[in-house]
Amino acid sequence: MGDKKNRNILSSMHIQHAQDRENDRTDTGSFPIVRQRPKKMGGGLVSRLMTSLLIVLLCALLGFGYAIQLNNKTSTYETMSEEELTRLISETSTQVQNLQQRKTELTGQLNSLKAAANKQQEAQRIAKENEDTSGILSGRLPAVGKGVIITISQGSKERIDAATMFQLLEELRNAGVEVMALNHVRVVTSTYITETRKSLECDGQILKPPYRVKAIGDPQNLQNAVNIAGGVGSRFKVKFGAKVTVTPSESVDISETRDAEQYQYAKTVE
């Protein structure tokens, strides 16, 4: 009885031990197992040399392939599939279209900018021209050109009056004078001539005889305007007994200027 019990216990312990061994196994299959070194292959020095040469050759092939693949940057398109290539083409053409559109936009911009620049240049040129003409017209700028110089000496019969002097200026103006100066006063649109008790006054400046009119314009016309029979020249001579000389000149230099008017009420229309 006792013997049987002992044997039972012994066998169950054996089973238990086997199970424990099974459970405590660390070899899970996912870790490498160090096997025994395989038995040396037969064969002499020559075959070992051959195999290492073969290994060298294979590894050299590997390295060679790697190196030339590194250098091969030219075409990766051969390895692409048809869909990839189609996608690439459509992407590229979309990009091309976009770039084309952008180019058109930029070209338009460039053209408009160029046109604007031209316009601005033109406007600047016109403004400069206007400035010159209006500067001469308003007496802000000195002027030079061919014309006449008229000298009128003091009247021997009576004093030369303002009306006749004004008539002279008007006659010259009718004859197409462009710039005039009376003694040292630049004659502009607003110029007036009055008489004081002793002499003439022009734009607030006293004029002393002999009077000297510098006029730029066609010399022949201006000369005719003064010397015409029954004209203002003969009036000076006959009525006032003054001596009038008209000398045409190729270069009448009118350096008299006046400051620009400051208008209080008049404004340019924008």
Partner 1 sequence: MAAVLGLIIGVIIGIFVKPDIPIVLQPYLPIMVVAALDALLGAARAYFERSFSDKVFVISFISNVLTATLLVLLGNQLGVGSQLQTAVIVVLGIRIFSNVSAIRRFIFKG
Q: Where along the sequence are the contacts to partner 1 (CB under 8 A)?
A: 31-38, 41, 48, 51-72, 75, 78-81, 84
d(CA 33, CA 27): 8
**Of residues 28 and 71, the one with the C-beta less far from partner 1:** 71
Residue 40 CB, shortest distance to partner 1, in Å, is 10
> Smaller CB distance to partner 1: residue 72 or 264?
72
> 18, exposed or middle or buried, with CB in 10 Å at 0-12, 13-18, 19+?
exposed
CB 90 to partner 1: min, Å: 18
How many Å apart are CA 178 and CA 127, to the nearest integer? 20
Minimum Å gap between C-beta 106 and partner 1 is 39
H or E stretch covering 88:
helix 82-137
Give me the residue label for tokens 């190196």.
67
Nearer to partner 1, 2 or 38 (CB): 38
Least Cβ distance, residue 43 to partner 1 (angstroms):
10
How far, CA to CA in Å, does 90 sit from each of 76, 82, 96, 100, 104?
17, 12, 10, 15, 21
Could you tell me which of 166, 228, 156 has the C-alpha nearest to residue 193?
Answer: 166
Please state, in angstroms and as integers, the Cα–Cα distance from residue 206 to each residue in 80, 119, 194, 268, following that order: 101, 48, 10, 34
Question: Which residues, other chains included, contact 149 with Cβ-Cβ below 8 Å and sequence gap of 6+?
Answer: 212, 213, 214, 215, 246, 247, 249, 252
Helix axes 219-227, 162-174, angle to 10 degrees: 140
In angstroms, what is the minimal distance from the CB of 25 to partner 1? 19
Q: Which CB sits closer to partner 1, 61 or 238?
A: 61
Among residues 34 and 229, whose Cβ is nearest to partner 1? Answer: 34
Least Å from the CB of residue 41 to partner 1: 7
For partner 1, which is the closer residue by CB, 1 or 34?
A: 34
